[in-house]
Amino acid sequence: MQPHPKIRKTVKWTGAVLTVILVTLWVGSAWWTIDWWGESGRVVYVERGMVGFASGEVPGKGWSLNPHAPELRWWWNRSVVKNDQWRSMPIWMLVAPLATATAIVWRLDGTARRLALSGKCARCGYDIAGIRGTCPECGAGADETRPRSG
């Protein structure tokens, strides 16, 4: 059974927005380092295609954005600098599954809408042109079988 259209629509747009944000961060991080130094001295940073965590040495510094020579890295990294542990993971590892899942949801939604517009049940494909209410074949509700916007 497919998820309810409203849920599908939410997942679809949330997935798309998150994918765009992550891709933007990823591309931007090839030229820029974004980091945030918390009060406790922890650092979260996005740099060279990686997102990383470390225990920094300038507590409470807050946000900073610094340019660097263009570079992208592709694999897990872990290093120790002056007793600080730096761990980072490649952003593409977050983007790839998210973009794939989002593409699948968009595809499902497109198929459902096409079926609905052609007078067929979005869930089972049964021809429900002229039928009001639930689908006689699979029992899908009217909100699931009728065309929607968005």
Site residues, Zn ion (CB under 5 A): 121, 123-124, 126, 135, 137-138, 140
CB closer to Zn ion out of 54 and 135: 135
As measured in angstroms, the least distance from the Cβ of 5 to Zn ion is: 13
CB closer to Zn ion out of 48 and 120: 120
CB closer to Zn ion out of 62 and 136: 136
**Read out DSSP for 4-58?**
PHHHHHHHHHHHHHHHHHHHHHHHHTTTEEEEEE-TTSEEEEEETTEEEEEE-SS
As measured in angstroms, the least distance from the Cβ of 140 to Zn ion is: 5
- Of 17, 24, 21, the residue nearest 102 (C-alpha): 17
User: Cα separation of 113 and 8, whole Å?
Assistant: 12
As measured in angstroms, the least distance from the Cβ of 137 to Zn ion is: 4
CB closer to Zn ion out of 119 and 137: 137
As measured in angstroms, the least distance from the Cβ of 110 to Zn ion is: 18
For 56-90, letters b (16+ CB in 10 Å) and e give: beeeeeeeeeeeeeeebeeeeeeeeeeeeebebeb
CB closer to Zn ion out of 97 and 136: 136
Q: Are 28 and 67 in contact, with CB atoms under 8 Å apart?
A: no
As measured in angstroms, the least distance from the Cβ of 38 to Zn ion is: 52
